[in-house]
Amino acid sequence: MNRSASLILAGLMVITFLSTSGFCDDKVEAENLISKASTVVNSFATDPDLGWFREKVTEAKALLIIPQSIKGAFFIGGSGGSGALLAHDSSSSEWGYPAFYTIGSISIGMQFGGEASEVILLVMTDRGMEKLLTSSFKMGADITLAAGPVGGGAAAQTADVLSYARSKGAFAGVSLDGAVVKTKDKFNEAYYGQAVSPTDILIRKTVSNPQADELRQNIAAITGK
């Protein structure tokens, strides 16, 4: 084998190694996100200050759980994180397996400091579910959003999505209006071992991963369905 061929082969081996390594890292990160999401659901279920959340979650068609939404600010601020969406199948009365998403927003203004929050979004309408099956959409523009706690007002009755957040154990008024939600394809592929879309996961149910079973059970317990 001549020198040029050897270099090409070595380069291909490096690329293969890096691709495999990145894929494994994505799988570990996705699994960690699911474990953290399960913890967040449990903490919301037992928090005495979140009775209003537990009342609304029983009506949800799906939950998007973001274990850690980071909000940083120094004139140009922003918030974002990765989350797992699980949908309820009314025909089987079971919660399905998770699809992964990212959510983020940018704001400009005189603001300082940073904050990490746990966020759960309740998808309340068919329209909200349909948007989550697309590759990208904007909160407040493509779907309507209301931040908890909410009562029986018009916003609560008509919103596609209700958002609830906690920061350091207390309710946090995290604004997600204008945030862009996108599918996290590399996590979906790594977690299920093949390229899959949210429709494949949530509607067609062509894949599964038992690592998410604890999260599914916790959601079933808190929603009563």
* Residue 95, pLDDT score: 97
Give pLDDT tens digits for 137-166.
Answer: 888 888 998 887 654 444 556 799 998 888
Q: At 3, is the pLDDT very low, low, confident or very high (cuts 50, 70, 90)? A: low
* Residue 112, pLDDT score: 44
> How far apart are the C-alpha atoms of 132 and 123, rounded to whole Å?
9
Give pLDDT tens digits for 76-116.
Answer: 445 578 999 999 998 888 999 999 999 876 444 444 445 66
Give pLDDT tens digits for 17-71.
Answer: 444 445 579 999 999 999 999 999 999 999 888 888 888 899 999 999 999 875 5
Decide if pLDDT at 187 tops 80: yes
CA-based radius of gyration for the chain: 19
Q: What is the helix, strand, coil percentage profile of the chain, to 5?
A: 40, 35, 25
* Residue 11, pLDDT score: 46
CA 198 to chain centre: 12
The span from the first CA to the last CA of the chain, in angstroms, equals 64
Phi-psi category of residue 35: left, alpha or beta, with phi > 0 → left and psi -120 to 50 → alpha:
alpha
Decide if pLDDT at 124 tops 50: yes
